[in-house]
Structure 1
Amino acid sequence: MLYFEDFTQGRRFDYSPVLMQANDMIAFASEFDPQPMHLDEEVGKSSILGGLAASGWHTSAVGMRMMIEAFLGNSSSQGSPGIDFMEWKKPVLAGDILSGFSLVLEARPSKTKPAIGLVKFRNEIENQSGEAVAVSECSVMFRRRNGEARA
């Protein structure tokens, strides 16, 4: 179990690869982002995206799952107060294999909740060619190991 104290500046958590499959991309888009380039390969090919492209929201959801599997699922996470920024840099096309990492930028104890610390991450998702497809920064709240501020 990872606690606030385990998230030292510069620590990196690598993501396991995920294959982006057309049927999953279409299913996600059908429910949450039904734009034509996310639903139909021919429309995607004729768009500036160059093929059936995942919704950016789908890419972000896959990134969240990668974070859970890399470290959040085995942590004392108490959720996030928000995302500082999220950028979709390149289209994610059917057949792409995504991987990436989360990097600890900073960690500080909460000023108002002594049992909690806040950790700021830079999250990067890249395709099989090593090109960044999504980048974000966010903070996550974690319980402190002893449950209170150290004296």
Structure 2
Amino acid sequence: MRYYEDIEIGETKEFGEFHGTEAEIVEFAEQYDPQPFHTDEDAAKESAFGELVASGWHTASISMRILADGPITERAGMGARGVDELRWKRPVKPGDTLSVRTEVVDKRVSDSDPKRGYVDSDTETIDQNDEVVLSWIGLGMVERRTPGELPE
């Protein structure tokens, strides 16, 4: 288990691999984001995308799953304060393979709870061509191993 003290600013890691299918794109969209360019291949051809693409929310959900299967299970996590600067950079298409890359950009001890540290990470979801399809800054909370001691 990795605690707040074990995490370094600048630490960069890549996680997971998810192979998307047309059926998954359509199924998610029909339930949560039923816009024609996510649900109907013919209608999608007439859209700005020119083809069927995944909902950005589907891409975010896949990214979260990759994180939940990887770094989140390795940390003494306490949840998150949210995300900043969520951006959909490129559409995700059927057959794309996604993974997630993170870089720790800031960390600090909570002023209100000395047992908790804040760890902010630039997070990018990348496709099989190493192109960024989604980005955000994750605002994580991680348990401190030595609450009450000041960080170095």
Counterpart for residue 104 of structure 1: 104
What does 1:2-151 align with in structure 2 at a 5 Å threshold? 2-146=2-146, 148-150=147-149
Q: Distance in 1 between matches of 2:13 and 2:70?
A: 6
Q: How far does residue 100 in structure 1 lie from its aligned partner after superposition?
A: 2.8
- Which residue identity does 1:6 align to in structure 2? D
Cα deviation, 1:74-123, whole Å, max 9, x if unaligned, reads: 22111111111100011101111112311100111111100000000000
- Which residue identity does 1:90 align to in structure 2? R
Cα deviation, 1:20-44, whole Å, max 9, x if unaligned, reads: 1111111111111111111111222
| Structure 1 stretches of 4+ moved >4 Å | none
- Which residue identity does 2:149 align to in structure 1? R
- Which residue identity does 2:125 align to in structure 1? I
State whether residues 86 and 134 of structure 1, in contact with CA within 8 Å, keep that contact through their aligned partners in structure 2. yes
TM-score (norm 2): 0.93
Q: Distance in 2 between matches of 1:6 and 1:69?
A: 19
Q: How far does residue 5 in structure 1 lie from its aligned partner after superposition?
A: 1.3
State whether residues 67 and 100 of structure 2, in contact with CA within 8 Å, keep that contact through their aligned partners in structure 1. no
Q: How far does residue 135 in structure 1 lie from its aligned partner after superposition?
A: 0.7
State whether residues 14 and 70 of structure 1, in contact with CA within 8 Å, keep that contact through their aligned partners in structure 2. no
Aligned length: 150
Q: How far does residue 65 in structure 1 lie from its aligned partner after superposition?
A: 1.0
TM-score (norm 1): 0.94
Q: How far does residue 56 in structure 1 lie from its aligned partner after superposition?
A: 0.2
Structure 1 unaligned runs (5+)?
none
Q: How far does residue 46 in structure 1 lie from its aligned partner after superposition?
A: 2.1
- Which residue identity does 2:130 align to in structure 1? G
Q: How far does residue 13 in structure 1 lie from its aligned partner after superposition?
A: 2.2
State whether residues 21 and 94 of structure 1, in contact with CA within 8 Å, keep that contact through their aligned partners in structure 2. yes
State whether residues 85 and 137 of structure 1, in contact with CA within 8 Å, keep that contact through their aligned partners in structure 2. yes
- Which residue identity does 2:79 align to in structure 1? G
Structure 2 unaligned runs (5+)?
none
Which has the larger displacement, 36-45 or 53-62? 36-45
State whether residues 13 and 70 of structure 1, in contact with CA within 8 Å, keep that contact through their aligned partners in structure 2. no
